[in-house]
Structure 1
Amino acid sequence: MLQSIVHIALVVQDYDDAIAFYTKKLNFTLVEDTYQPEQDKRWVVVAPPGSTGTTILLAKASKPEQEPFIGNQSGGRVFLFLNTDDFWRDYNEMVSRGIKFVREPKEQSYGMVAVFKDLYGNLWDLLQLNDDHPLMMRAK
């Protein structure tokens, strides 16, 4: 059996603000931005540069009960994990683009990590996993 997670939905306040943040601040690629007139919404998908795996579906809150979850989809825990092949390159680039890091870089047993906030306050790990980490071993 072969299965994979294709998209992770991220509730956002505004499509265009979210697209600008992810493409200009995080250097993500805009994979798709399609208007869906029958639902009066857009299907907006972004992905990290060079990624061929899971993408992020930017889903605008469409009901009042969804709005409190903007920026707090995981109850204040780190929600998403962005792995890189060069931690310091990406960390320095993100800082230069105004990304707010809430936990400074730290060497851990699994690799380098720092925590940053997206435009709505969701917490992300910027990671460079060690070559011997199980996820890195799977990729080989």
Structure 2
Amino acid sequence: MHQSIIHIALVVKDYDEAIEFYTQKLHFKLVEDTYMPEQDKRWVLIAPPNSKGTNILLAKASGPEQEAAIGNQTGGRVFLFLSTDDFWRDYNDMVDNGIEFMRVPNEAEYGTVAVFKDLYGNLWDLIEMKAK
């Protein structure tokens, strides 16, 4: 058996502001943006540059319950983990682009890591793993 996670839904306030943040500030690529008239919503996929793994589905909140989850999908824990091949290149670029870091860079046993917030407040790890 072979299985994999292909998409993770991220609840957002607005498709276009989310696309702008992720593509302009984090340099993600817009994989797909398709309008689905039968549901009156869009299927919007983004991914980090040169990623061959899981995509993020930007899912516009529909209703108060989903709106309440925007920015806090995991109860304040780090939600997503962005792996990089050059921590300092990406960290400095993110700082230059106004990304807010909640925890300063740290050299841990497993690699270099810092925690940042996306435009809605979800917490992410930026991490460069040490070579094994």
Report the equivalent of 1:38: 38
Give 3-state SS (helix, strand or coil) of 1:24's partner.
helix
Give 3-state SS (helix, strand or coil) of 1:51's partner.
coil
Report the equivalent of 1:120: 120
Q: TM-score, normalised by structure 2?
A: 0.99
Partner amino acid for 1:4?
Answer: S
Report the equivalent of 1:77: 77
Give 3-state SS (helix, strand or coil) of 2:103's partner.
strand
Cα-Cα RMSD: 0.5
- Quote the sequence identity (%): 73
Report the equivalent of 1:61: 61
How far residue 130 of structure 1 moved from its aligned partner, in angstroms, is 1.0
How far residue 118 of structure 1 moved from its aligned partner, in angstroms, is 0.1
How far residue 2 of structure 1 moved from its aligned partner, in angstroms, is 1.2
Report the equivalent of 2:108: 108
Aligned mates of 2:44, 2:8 — CA distance in 1: 11
Report the equivalent of 1:10: 10
Q: TM-score, normalised by structure 1?
A: 0.93
- Tell me which stretches of 4 or more aligned residues in structure 1 moved more than 6 Å: none
Extract unaligned runs of 5+ from structure 2. none
How far residue 28 of structure 1 moved from its aligned partner, in angstroms, is 0.0
How far residue 128 of structure 1 moved from its aligned partner, in angstroms, is 0.1
Aligned length: 132
Aligned mates of 1:33, 1:56 — CA distance in 2: 12
Partner amino acid for 1:43?
Answer: W
Extract unaligned runs of 5+ from structure 1. 133-140
